[in-house]
């Protein structure tokens, strides 16, 4: 897919601009577009809230018009308020941020996430000009989120499209099968040592196998458990058998 940019329409608080810039830096986004922004003083709260984004994302932010967004990007408008009715098409249909990631995966044009004002968000007239609608499924009792928080949630859900690598390793470092089979054997030996009813051992062993199968233990975890089972078996065995 092509690049993803972020736009804020008529932001009222410099601090929210800085917060969103920081979120962009966290999740691999770099182009920030501002429609009618407040003054962003390098010594003010926008730069104070931006973290390391003050070095590149914020200084390189561009002021544009709303029409520029509509004419140059595949636009995604974000909103807390939706009209969940197929007869109304201003804010319906909409996707959640997690669903948005799937819809954008194969889009081959530049995309822009469009966020609105802190108090009223995007107007219906603005939403009508955008290509997609995204809404965060927050509590029905209080669905309205802070602008910076909402933007961060959406960008987080798109991280697989925007971040090449994170501090988290890919996948699960599962122990090899020989180590895990040894764990099962050690557990079976423990059942024998504690005199677990023989007619129940097979079923208990299967239950343990299913439990470990869901847990995907690492090498260290499997070795530690084997050591615990081995010691337990030794203490449970009669003195003559040790």
Q: β-pairing, 132-134 with 74-78?
A: parallel
Beta bridge partners of 121: 117
Residue pLDDT, tens place only, 50-87: 999 999 999 999 999 999 999 999 999 998 765 555 55
Residue pLDDT, tens place only, 170-217: 556 788 889 999 999 999 999 999 999 999 999 999 999 999 888 888
Who wins on pLDDT, 209 or 138? 209
Around 121, how many Cα atoms within 13 Å sit in the side-chain half-sphere?
A: 21
For residue 89, pLDDT beyond 70: no
Report residue 119 as tokens: 């108090």
For residue 169, the model assigns a pLDDT of: 56
124 three-state secondary structure: helix
Who wins on pLDDT, 142 or 10? 10
For residue 44, the model assigns a pLDDT of: 95
Q: Which residues contact 187 (CB under 8 A, 6 or more apart)?
A: 205, 208, 229
For residue 88, pLDDT beyond 60: no
Q: Which of 11-15, 123-127, 211-215 has the highest mean pLDDT?
A: 11-15
Spatial distance between the Cα atoms of 17 and 38, rounded to a whole number of angstroms: 9
* DSSP 8-state assignment for residue 241: G
Q: How confident is the model at residue 2 (pLDDT cuts 50, 70, 90)?
A: confident
Residue pLDDT, tens place only, 205-238: 999 999 988 888 899 999 999 999 999 999 887 6
Cβ atoms of 149 and 112 closer than 8 Å: no
Q: Per mean pLDDT, which range of 13-22, 43-52, 77-86, 117-126 is the poorest? A: 77-86
For residue 24, the model assigns a pLDDT of: 96
Q: Is 206 exposed, middle or buried (0-12, 13-18, 19+ CB in 10 A)?
A: exposed
Residue from 40, 31, 41 nearest 5 by CA: 31
| Whole-angstrom Cα Rg for the chain | 27
């Amino acid at each position: 897919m092509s690049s993803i940019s972020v736009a804020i329409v008529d932001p009222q608080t410099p601090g929210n601009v800085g917060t969103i810039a920081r979120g962009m830096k966290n999740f691999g986004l770099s182009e920030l577009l501002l429609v009618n922004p407040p003054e962003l003083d390098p010594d003010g709260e926008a730069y104070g809230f931006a973290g390391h984004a003050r070095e590149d994302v914020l200084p390189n932010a561009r002021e544009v018009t709303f029409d520029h967004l509509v004419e140059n990007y595949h636009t995604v408008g974000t909103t807390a308020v939706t009209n969940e009715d197929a007869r109304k098409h201003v804010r319906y249909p909409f996707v959640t941020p997690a669903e948005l990631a799937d819809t954008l995966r194969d889009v081959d044009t530049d995309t822009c996430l469009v966020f609105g004002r802190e108090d009223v968000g995007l107007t219906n007239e603005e939403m009508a000009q955008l290509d997609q609608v995204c809404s965060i499924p927050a509590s029905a009792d209080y669905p309205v989120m802070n602008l910076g928080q909402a933007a961060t949630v959406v960008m987080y859900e798109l991280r697989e499209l925007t971040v090449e690598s994170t501090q988290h390793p890919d996948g699960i470092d599962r122990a090899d099968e020989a180590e895990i089979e040894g764990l099962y054997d050690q557990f079976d030996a423990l059942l024998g040592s504690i005199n677990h009813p023989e007619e129940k051992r097979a079923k208990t062993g299967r239950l343990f196998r299913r439990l470990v199968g869901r847990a995907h233990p690492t090498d260290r975890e499997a070795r530690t458990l084997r050591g615990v089972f081995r010691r337990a078996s030794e203490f449970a065995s009669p003195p003559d058998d040790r």
